[in-house]
């Protein structure tokens, strides 16, 4: 055998350095946890699949966590259960609940802030798309760590709450900058007896403005240049 072939064979036989020093029981437990990838595994299931003494499994799990080979992960299904995962994987949304959860808990504060901000942005733009709102938030860094998918989910929930309405662009008037047929959103209004804003929009200055009929996004009279609206929006342009 040539030296290069012999070196290659030795390299193939070389054990994983991360598992060196582990006892047989730890290797069994580690392989069980790794096999579940980003779904992880509940400690009771580890004990079933490892087929070794339950007390020994507990010791192995504790040891593997200390050696930074596995980690505990929170789950929204049952927070009391001890769930383990190999350190090289990130928990799936099935476990964490996705972006709306933080450390296994629903992030109500983030949801509230995003809802209120989206409502204000739609009020400023009059008509807005998911992409338009997301770009606005991203450029001005109004809400950190926010994706267009999250904006879309928030807007859908607001439609269900009758805070905004979903419409399709006609390509005319206020919709001139949005392609025809594109889904967009605008503030919900009351009946013919007069405009009636909902929730946080009740205090918007536009409702009492005598020039509202000639106010357009890019006109001389515009939300972008309105001192009163900027103050209400509380966002620096």
Is the confidence at residue 198, as pLDDT, over 50? no
C-alpha–C-alpha distance, residues 110 and 112, integer Å: 5
For 105-118, how does the pLDDT look when each residue is reduced to its tens digit (9 = 90+)? 777 888 888 899 99
Classified as helix, coil or strand, 143 is coil
What are the residue ranges of helices labelled H in the chain?
3-13, 24-34, 43-50, 54-66, 93-96, 108-125, 130-140, 148-160, 227-233
193 to 189, 196, 199: CA distances (angstroms) = 11, 9, 19
Q: What is the pLDDT of residue 99?
A: 67
pLDDT tens across 29-62, in order?
Answer: 999 999 989 888 899 999 999 988 999 999 999 9
Asked whether residue 9 carries a pLDDT value surpassing 90, the answer given is no
Mean pLDDT of 145-167: 87
pLDDT band at 220 (very low <50, low <70, confident <90, very high): low
Rounded CA-CA distance 132/137 in Å is: 9
Question: pLDDT class for 81, splitting at 50, 70, 90?
Answer: confident
């Amino acid at each position: 055998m040539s030296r290069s072939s012999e070196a290659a064979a030795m390299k193939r036989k070389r054990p994983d350095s991360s598992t060196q020093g582990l006892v047989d029981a730890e290797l069994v437990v580690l392989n069980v946890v790794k096999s579940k990838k980003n779904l992880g595994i509940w400690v009771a299931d580890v004990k079933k699949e490892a087929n070794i003494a339950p007390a020994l499994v507990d010791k192995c799990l504790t040891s593997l966590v200390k050696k930074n080979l596995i980690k505990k992960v929170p789950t929204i299904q049952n927070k009391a259960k001890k769930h383990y995962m190999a350190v090289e994987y990130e928990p799936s949304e099935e476990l964490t609940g996705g972006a709306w959860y933080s450390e296994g808990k629903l992030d109500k504060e983030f949801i509230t802030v995003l809802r209120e901000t989206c409502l204000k942005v739609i009020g400023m733009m009059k008509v807005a798309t998911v992409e338009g709102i997301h770009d606005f938030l991203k450029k001005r860094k109004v809400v950190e760590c926010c994706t267009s998918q999250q904006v879309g989910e928030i807007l859908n929930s607001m439609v269900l709450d009758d805070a905004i309405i979903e419409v399709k662009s006609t390509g005319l008037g206020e919709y001139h900058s949005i392609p025809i047929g594109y889904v967009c959103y605008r503030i919900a209004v009351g009946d013919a007896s007069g405009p009636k804003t909902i929730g946080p929009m009740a205090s918007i200055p536009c409702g009492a403005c005598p020039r509202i009929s000639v106010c357009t996004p890019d006109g001389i009279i515009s939300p972008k240049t309105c001192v009163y609206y900027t103050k209400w929006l509380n966002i620096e342009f």
